Amino acid sequence: MKIRFGEPNLGAVIGASIGAVGGLFAVTIPYAILIRDIHALSMARTHGLMGFLVSAPVGWIIGGQIAPRLEGKLNERAAGIIGGIIGGMLPVGGFLYWGWRMVHG
């Protein structure tokens, strides 16, 4: 089975969904934890929009590439779910790290 770049599959959809939602808040999560105020999640709207616009397509691409590779070890549905979660959390993790570095200098 040949895996094409950007091909739609369950892993790509889940990766884009997790990347989009997580990217909206990933930059401000460390700051909200530091000051212990949930309202701080909406403070850096520009960074949140940038996280959304970057994490959604990156999650689509990575999740869509990981999921078919896991199908050899798992069934198709489980591979799509796990691949999508991993693919979506990678860009979100990058934005979380960036937010943590901004808070802690």
How many domains would you assign to the chain? 1
pTM across the whole model: 0.87
pLDDT higher than threshold 90 for residue 1: no
Q: Is 3 a member of any domain?
A: no
Residue span of the structural domain in which 44 resides: 24-104
Q: Is 40 a member of any domain?
A: yes
What mean pLDDT do residues 70-79 have? 92
Q: Is 29 a member of any domain?
A: yes
pLDDT confidence band for 4 (50 / 70 / 90)? confident
Question: Torsion over CA of 7, 9, 11 and 13, rounded to 10 degrees?
Answer: 90
User: Which is nearest to 10 in space by CA: 96, 104, 85?
Assistant: 85
